[in-house]
Structure 1
Amino acid sequence: MSLDGCSIEKNKIDCPCTYSGCPRAGACCECIKYHRAKDQLPACYFTPEQEKTYNRSIEYFIECRTK
């Protein structure tokens, strides 16, 4: 798999994470790895309103999608 054109700086433009100072902002692979280890999903799976709760649990994701 090629990562040509993959850039943390470019990814930061569209990164929906609102956690100030997040060291993984724009580093999608690291973000997914971090949240997966905690049984969570990254911010990009949530709407802006949902993301602001900082509740990244899989249960919350399912709850939001089944309303």
Structure 2
Amino acid sequence: MKTVRSDKCNNVEKEDFKCPCTYTGCSRHGICCECLHYHRGKDQLPACYFTAEQEKTYNRNIDFFIECRDK
């Protein structure tokens, strides 16, 4: 069975108050499904995977995530 991937969010609920991203120019702020698709496409992780201090670096690389977790 083939899995069909959709880039469209079926259930979009803007969750600004829960979003830890501090990048003020982000058009996906609070729209988790769009944020995940965007960062996954760049081999990155979204802000919610990082601590508040790590998130402020705007470094979303998976290697950075692993490095932070190995400390």
TM-score category of the 2 structures, normalised to the smaller one: 0.7 to 0.9
* 1:36 paired residue among 32, 40, 50: 40
* 1:18 paired residue among 7, 16, 22: 22
Unmatched 5+ residue regions in structure 1? none
Unmatched 5+ residue regions in structure 2? 1-9
Superposition RMSD in Å: 1.4
Deviations 1:9-66 (A, max 9, x none): xx11010000012100011000000000000000000000000000000000000000
TM-score normalised over the length of structure 2: 0.82
In 1, Cα distance between the equivalents of 2:26 and 2:64? Answer: 21
Question: Could you tell me how far 1:7 is from its partner in structure 2?
Answer: 1.9
Task: Determine which structure has the larger helix proportion and give its number.
Answer: 1
Count residues with an aligned counterpart. Answer: 62
Between structure 1 and structure 2, the one with the greater Rg is 2
Partner of 1:27: 31
